Amino acid sequence: MEDEYLAQLKNITFGYNEKLICNSININIKKGQITAIMGPSGCGKTTVLHLITGFNKTNEGSVIVFDQKIEQLNRDQLFQLRHNMGMLFQSAVLFLDLNVFDNIAFPLRELNLLPESIIDDIVLMKLEAVGLRGAKDFAIQNLSGGMKRRVALAQAIARDPALLLLDEPFAGQDPVTTGVLTHLIKLINKTLQTTIVLVSHTIQNTFEIANYIYLISEGKIMGEGSPQELINSRDPWVEQFIKGLPDGPIHLRYPAIAFAQELNV
Ligand SMILES: Nc1ncnc2c1ncn2[C@@H]1O[C@H](COP(=O)(O)OP(=O)(O)O)[C@@H](O)[C@H]1O
Ligand SMILES: [Mg+2]
């Protein structure tokens, strides 16, 4: 049943110039679920998110989001489509000259549709959701890294997006903050029924909350399944990735040489 998906990448082949990043990739994003995309650094995770938003246009295959083919949309239609997407990108920056409240209000005011009294209610609700209601008047530069990430998350869900794209939300965060963010992402998914695509390196937290996980490398899907299915997998690549083992089919060094062997030289 196709309509159980909010987004689909069908047979996507995409590269920057000659460099192939996706080689006939299929990814299905189920409604109401958290789908995680994992893989070594530089494997193309951010690229996949940019294919979903239409920042990247596929060379082959089709990207379908909200029943529309991304590659067939013009600029205005893409903007319209993105109104229904929340994004938290790696390079996400908050407006330093606006306080916490105004940062979250920004995407709502941009719509030019809502009276300030409604915006006020929505912003406080989102701040409550990320546990920062008490910090609404704070200047951004006075927040810790974890609080900034939570403000960015509140900003990303300000418009109640049907689809929330999170690019490495745990990057650079301490273990406690990572735990808080993990819990928040699951809470948003459960209470607002937001469909989430989670790009992350953090195996433990990602496996804790994702319903389905894709492992990508070298342009291919190396493994996919529920967290339990992947944990039970006897595939050498999947096992090495999940356990973070230095030896196996994933080569960290070029030219390929077993890590242990290299240490013994
Ligand atoms: N705009 C671009 N032009 C050319 N190469 C790019 C561009 N964006 C990313 N790349 C390259 O594509 C590969 C995949 O990048 P990316 O999707 O950012 O990986 P990941 O998010 O998994 O770390 C990397 O080798 C990166 O250097
Ligand atoms: Mg990335």
Which residue puts its alpha carbon closest to atom 3 of ligand 1?
16
Q: Please indicate, yes or no, if residue 225 is contained in any of the structural domains.
A: yes
How high is the pLDDT of residue 258? 52
Same structural domain, 9 and 68 = yes
The answer to whether the beta carbons of residues 141 and 96 sit under 8 Å apart is yes
Same structural domain, 18 and 37 = yes
How high is the pLDDT of residue 155? 94
Q: Give the end-to-end CA distance of the chain in Å, rounded to a whole number.
A: 55
CATH code for the domain in which residue 52 is found: 3.40.50.300
Q: What is the pTM of this model?
A: 0.91
How many folded domains does the chain comprise?
Answer: 2
Q: Is ligand 1 within 6 A of the CB of residue 41?
A: yes
Same structural domain, 70 and 125 = no
Same structural domain, 156 and 177 = no
State how far the Cα of 32 lies from the Cα of 257, in Å rounded to an integer: 42
What pLDDT, in 10s, does the model give residues 47-66? 999 999 999 998 899 999 99
| Residue 108 lies in domain | 96-160
Same structural domain, 15 and 65 = yes
What pLDDT, in 10s, does the model give residues 188-216? 999 989 999 999 988 999 999 999 999 99
Same structural domain, 193 and 73 = yes
Which residue puts its alpha carbon closest to atom 6 of ligand 1?
16
Total residues found in the chain within this entry? 265
Q: Is ligand 1 within 6 A of the CB of residue 126?
A: no
Q: What is the DSSP letter of 99?
A: B
What strands, in cross-sheet order, belong to the sheet with 163-167?
Answer: 85-88, 163-167, 195-199, 34-38, 212-217, 220-225
Same structural domain, 103 and 228 = no
42 CA distance to ligand 1 middle (Å): 6
Q: Please indicate, yes or no, if residue 50 is contained in any of the structural domains.
A: yes
Task: Name the closest ligand to CA 90.
Answer: 2
Which residue puts its alpha carbon closest to atom 11 of ligand 1?
42
